[in-house]
Structure 1
Amino acid sequence: MPGDEQDGKPAGASEGSREREARRIAAVRRYDILDTPPDGAFDRIAALAARLFDVPMATVTIVDSDRVWFKAAYGLEGATQTGRDASLSTSAILSDTPLIIPDTRHDALTRAHPMVAGPAGIRFYAAAPITTPDGHRLGTVDVLDTRPHRIAPEEATALTDLATLVMDQLELRLSALRMLRRERELLEAAHAARDRAEQERARTAAFAAALQSSLLPPNLPHVPGLQAACHYTTASVHDIGGDFYDIFPLGADRWAFCLGDVSGRGATVAALTSMIRHTLRTTALLEPDPRTVLETLNAALLADPAAGVRLCTLIYGTLVPHPAGGFTITLTGGGHPPAYHLRPAHQGLPPRAEPMQLSGGMLLGVLAEAPFVSRTFRLAPGEALLLHSDGLTASCTSHGARFDEMNLAAHLTHHAATSTAPRAAALIDDLAALLVTFPVGPADDVALLALSATLSEADGSPVGASGTTRTSGPRPHVRA
């Protein structure tokens, strides 16, 4: 459908063009993708496009009514959106075929464009439209360089294939959201059509698992001198919980980490959890004071009508390398169970697992003037820190007793006593094995995040290692 959007904008176009643009914008809204958090699948497509075309920049864009929003931006640090007049994507959605401009300074369409004539100095541009099954062009997959390029026809075909792959991801995401909305209606009809409902629950579980995974980092970042490991056990394969954790950089030699728990379950909780992670990441980059970060997040929760009466407990921490080795950690609490500082026997002191109490910290989403409490300490080489959600301490052991904070402290102290230097990966393995011994599984979702300061190599350089996200579900005989 070439020429659907005259000049890429509805303004000043014919009545038919305005109607087509309105239908295209309706399709953009239908996929509910604008302003969503970063997604590894789209980031990987942008990175693949850059490698395939040997260019420093590649984007996955969605063209909105008055802006071009970047779902992924490889090689464009911090770029999130631009005006339609300032983006070549506006021109690229005018055709079903790829737009390829080997040298933008010698092309009448682009020589005066701000991206070409301005500071960006783009000399090569190629894009393929992201087209829906019903023919609407949502945006583009773009590759850009400051040097001219010539590409072969098969490379143009590859760019079209990448745009089709983006469309496939959008369709899968839309399907998952639709299935989650239908889940409650289908379950209400379970008594009348039990077999059909069970089959639908199995399909829904797959979508729920995919969406649950999207709330957790696919892997943990490499931090020099730190080993990090994590684990997530869900209490129900049919619903989405609100437990989450994250580690992310704050700049040179500074990192942040968190573990939290949003009350309730379901798609609303998943959306709220995604908002909390996004707000926390964004605010942490702007605010050096951890208490201010939690105050900002608390205000966002109170202002969000979708949050309703949802509450969130949270531990937020920052990591800075310590001059004597290890890290200086500042923990700030929002009504969450305490983290544990594991230290092996040293200089006559016994091994211990100290609860890092943050008494007085209020959970988030309750009071506008909620107090938050911080505590700073050193995580020395050979020591570890554990953060956990309350699903761990709400579970019952094989003896029928609750595995409370006192039991957890004793278990962690034993781990410190039997380890030469507690390491994050070994600590997570130990607790994951413990969860398997609970006869009916955890009472609630369990999120675990462990950090350990590693010993240095012989040349004094720090060792860095990261664990990856591991998930598990309830035992098959447990009805969730």
Structure 2
Amino acid sequence: MMCETSDGDPGTDGGAAEAGADTGGDDVDEAGLAQFSALLEDSTEDLYDNAPCGYLSTLMDGRIAKVNSTLLDWLGYTGTQLVGRKRFSDLLTVGGKLYHETHFAPLLAMQGQVSGIALELKCADGSRLPVLVTSVVKTGSDGQPLLVRTTLFEAGDRRAYESELLRARKEAERARADAEAARKTAETERARLHQVVVILQKSLLPPELPQVPGLQAAAYYHPASTDQLGGDFYDLFALGDGSWSFFLGDVCGKGPEAASVTSLIRYTLRAACLHADGPAEALDMLNTALYARYTGNDPRYCTVVAGTLTPRDGTFDITVASGGHPPALLLRADGTTDFVRTPGGMLVGITSRPDFITSTTTLAPGDTLLLYTDGLTEARTTAGPRYSEEALHAFAHSLAPAGARQTVTALTGLLEGFGNGLDDDTALLALGVPAADGVGVT
């Protein structure tokens, strides 16, 4: 609001004397009276002229009628340069003048007051001065508008603050944009890596299992991570004499190194099975290759179970050898389940003189042999403890009798139920002889 000036000077001796009379005359402390008198000498005009904010009064046509020294100092003008010569709008920048004509002046005419409007003034040296403007229409006794009183607060600090906020916001937006671009790039790279991993992982497994007369075979591979190559492997292939060979195993470690070892093991073991006299000798050949290649500071080893299938009058004779691998599980046609254990079997590649134990059994109609890696029996359950061979035995017992495909399908659902509880890849291989009544033919 505009400070008004007065025609008289309240800081005269008469005013001081009148004040002294009111205080009780001789009883007033002389020092206090001197301070009070000095304060009264600050006239209203002086307070107006040197106020910490800018003041000006304009006629209703916008011409400047009065302006205080504070505003003149800000702008670099003298009073004679502005009073009666300039309109308030002449002090505004081009944009400010346009806003004044289209918004500020119409609002002032309708409301009689406009408060806190941010505008820019042009200084005499051409620089700009940001200000906050409040204008009030002063009316006469007849209610007619006489003049406009305007108060201006220097807003340079506020403008700098707003500019800093704007800069910080733009910087934050840039950072968000960079982060989003980085996220999209990471997603693209992850998708590409996932595709590469899938392709490489498939190259370590047979594209499909062969058709074995009189036998149903099913397999499943569950990767614990889509970004890392696992070391689980399996295979089933003909030996050329009417019998068949199979194996399933798990290489220690993950990533490209483990994948390289997996590839070596799979093809070495396949060749060994074709030339060895039984699965135990095939594992011994694999051990020799691994131990010779990965001795010293970079040992590599695996667990594996290998076996042969020999058809005989509607059944299959099975010989199994294990190198430190979890035991195969046999689901019988009568609903019982048993582990095919090979006690004492050593890890493959860990020593130069391993001892591999064999075990024999028969697959009759309705029987299914299940091989699996320890990703299944070491999975974390929702209750907290690890899954176990005992839990797997109980689960298989609830399935038996079941064919190879039915068994693998049920275990696939079990694996998916573990969710994040699967820390390791899991491979399954089931071999079953369909029962005469159709059990296992699903």
TM-score relative to the length of structure 2: 0.56
Q: Which of 390, 398, 401 is equivalent to 1:406?
A: 390
CA distance in 2, matches of 1:202, 1:309: 32
CA distance in 2, matches of 1:383, 1:309: 39
What's 1:438 paired with? 418
What's 1:309 paired with? 299
CA contact (8 A) 1:394 1:404 kept: yes
- 1:109-188 equivalences in 2 (<5 Å): none
CA gap 1:464/1:340 in 2 versus in 1, 3 angstroms: closer
What's 1:386 paired with? 370
> Structure 1 residue 366 and structure 2 residue 350: aligned?
yes
What's 2:52 paired with? none
Q: Name the aligned partner's letter for residue 246 of structure 1.
A: D
- Which aligned runs of 4 or more in structure 1 are off by greater than 4 angstroms? 192-195
> Structure 1 residue 329 and structure 2 residue 318: aligned?
yes
CA distance in 2, matches of 1:443, 1:289: 33
> Structure 1 residue 426 and structure 2 residue 410: aligned?
no
Q: Secondary structure at the match of 2:237?
A: strand
CA distance in 1, matches of 2:436, 2:196: 43
CA distance in 1, matches of 2:277, 2:295: 28
Q: Which of 225, 231, 234 is equivalent to 1:236?
A: 225
> Structure 1 residue 396 and structure 2 residue 386: aligned?
no
CA gap 1:202/1:404 in 2 versus in 1, 3 angstroms: same
Q: Runs of 5+ in structure 2 lacking a partner?
A: 1-178
Q: Name the aligned partner's letter for residue 309 of structure 2.
A: L
Q: Secondary structure at the match of 1:236?
A: coil
Q: Which of 215, 234, 240 is equivalent to 1:251?
A: 240
What's 1:155 paired with? none
RMSD: 2.4
What's 1:266 paired with? 255
Deviations 1:201-250 (A, max 9, x none): 22111101100011011110011110000001000101100000100110
Structure 1 window deviating more from structure 2 (304-313 vs 406-415): it is 304-313
CA contact (8 A) 2:368 2:432 kept: yes
Displacement of 1:443:
1.7
CA contact (8 A) 1:225 1:455 kept: no
Q: Name the aligned partner's letter for residue 422 of structure 2.
A: P
TM-score relative to the length of structure 1: 0.52
CA contact (8 A) 2:403 2:440 kept: no
CA contact (8 A) 2:432 2:440 kept: no
Tell me which of the two structures has the higher relative contact order, counting C-alpha pairs closer than 8 angstroms and 6 or more residues apart: 1
More helix per residue? 2
Deviations 1:25-49 (A, max 9, x none): xxxxxxxxxxxxxxxxxxxxxxxxx
Q: Secondary structure at the match of 2:420?
A: coil
- 1:269-280 equivalences in 2 (<5 Å): 269-280=258-269
CA distance in 2, matches of 1:201, 1:457: 49
Q: Secondary structure at the match of 1:391?
A: helix
CA distance in 2, matches of 1:439, 1:274: 28
What's 1:318 paired with? 308
CA distance in 2, matches of 1:267, 1:369: 28
Displacement of 1:306:
8.7
Q: Runs of 5+ in structure 1 lacking a partner?
A: 1-189, 346-350, 468-480
Larger Rg: 2
> Structure 1 residue 449 and structure 2 residue 438: aligned?
no
Q: Secondary structure at the match of 2:263?
A: helix
Q: Name the aligned partner's letter for residue 293 of structure 1.
A: A
